[in-house]
A and B are shown apart, each in its own frame.
Chain A
Amino acid sequence: MAKKESTFINMVATLFIVTLVASTALAYVYELTKEPIEAAKLAKKLQAIDAVVPEYDNQPVAEMFKVAAGEGLDSLEFYPAKKGGEVIGTAVRSYTNTGYNGLVVLMVGVLPDGTIKDIQVVEHKETPGLGTKMESPKFKDQFKDIDPSQVVLKVKKDGGDIDAITAATISSRAFSEATQLAVDTYKKGGDK
């Protein structure tokens, strides 16, 4: 079959049809994948929440509320975990921009009496093999089950109680800072 000639009408018509078919097909795929994408995002959030609060029977994501963290900072998201209508813990999504490569996002689980239950790293860009060790139990467990009013959430270099990760003081500092921010903000408005 001979190739079509490149007249103006031909070219415009071809491009029009090609893009039309392409965008229709994409719209269809988008509709198909919309739900799984939402579900995947929700599952990721829930996974982090589940790891840091006691077992609950409500829907923390649906009951999320925001608390202002202070001057120049974004407000933090609070995910209350309830059992039988009573708050048994709150997952606080805290962050800091002082990581070695900028943003570090944590999910900090705080119990009603103010102790930290556990912490999950949600997002970070730290150096693989060094800063990433903040996800390891050896470092993270220093924050587990502690009362933040008794422990100074700073690395030892800065006069605190936290052993920094070897060769990753900046990442350790960022982790401590984000945790401190979560604790401070929780005091301001976590008991809603």
Chain B
Amino acid sequence: MSQWKNFAKGFVKENPVFVLLLGLCPALGVTSTAINGMAMGLATLFVLLMSNMVVSLIKNFIPEKVRIPSFIVVIATFVTVVDLVMAGYAPAVHEQLGLFIPLIVVNCIVLGRAEAFASRKSFMSSMIDGLGMGLGFTFALTLLGSVREILGSLSIFGFKFMEGDGILVFILPPGAFIALGYLIALMNKFKKA
């Protein structure tokens, strides 16, 4: 597999949210606006990239049986770094994302990629895989956030393009499920075509 394919697969073919259905909790929980979705995506991207890189570097020093616990520690470390840095430098966003930042640690994508990809492949491939998957995740969350924000608050990235209230249900919890459901349906159609 060429590195380009390795990178690009995260967007459509193996998009973590739309196709693999991983990391749905943050995808549903924080996407009431496009900005929140993007911030969450970028935070996850950072954790994914860093943990993939570190895991592929240390994989040979870790005995087989304690592999998973060691990976979890590595991931949790980067999650905490993101948590602290965001609290200090982007407090508004940090407050919005709240609980979902520490929960990146149990996001199935991160451990899944470390275990399935980075613990077997080279440093370079792991890095590109992390970047591709992370960007795919960011793309999915931003898309979902934009759709919900456009329909729910008639604005995009905080920019109001029309007066009025929009369809409120889309910024409420039920709207998250419904919007994601239809996006996945669209994605399925797109894949087949």
Contact = CB atoms under 8 A, between A and B. Distances in A.
A–B contact at 8 Å CB threshold (below): yes
Contacts of B58: 18
Q: Which bucket holds chain A's interface residue count?
A: 20 to 34
Looking at chain B's contact residues, is the secondary structure mostly helix, strand, loop, or mixed? helix
Nearest to A22: B77
Q: Which of A7, A18, A39 has the most CB of B within 10 A?
A: A18
B81 interface: yes
A41 B91 contact: yes
Interface stretch (B41-49, B62-70, B105-113): B62-70
Looking at chain A's contact residues, is the secondary structure mostly helix, strand, loop, or mixed? helix
B6 interface: no
A84 B175 CA distance: 53
Contact of A5 (B63, B87, B153): B63
B88 A128 contact: no
Given A4-B60, A127-B172, A128-B32, A22 B73 contact: yes
A26 interface: yes
B88 A7 contact: no
Contacts, number: 85
A138 interface: no
A28 to B, nearest CB: 10
A22 B54 CA distance: 12
Contact of A4 (B61, B69, B153, B172): B61
Interface in A1-55: 1-7, 10-11, 14-15, 18-19, 22, 25-26, 29-30, 33, 35-37, 39-41, 43-44
Interface of A: 1-7, 10-11, 14-15, 18-19, 22, 25-26, 29-30, 33, 35-37, 39-41, 43-44, 127-130
Interface of B: 32, 58, 60-66, 69-70, 73-74, 76-77, 80-81, 84-85, 87-89, 91, 152-153, 165-166, 168, 171-172
15 contacts: A4-B61, A4-B62, A11-B66, A14-B66, A15-B69, A29-B81, A30-B84, A33-B88, A37-B88, A40-B87, A43-B91, A128-B172, A129-B152, A129-B165, A130-B168
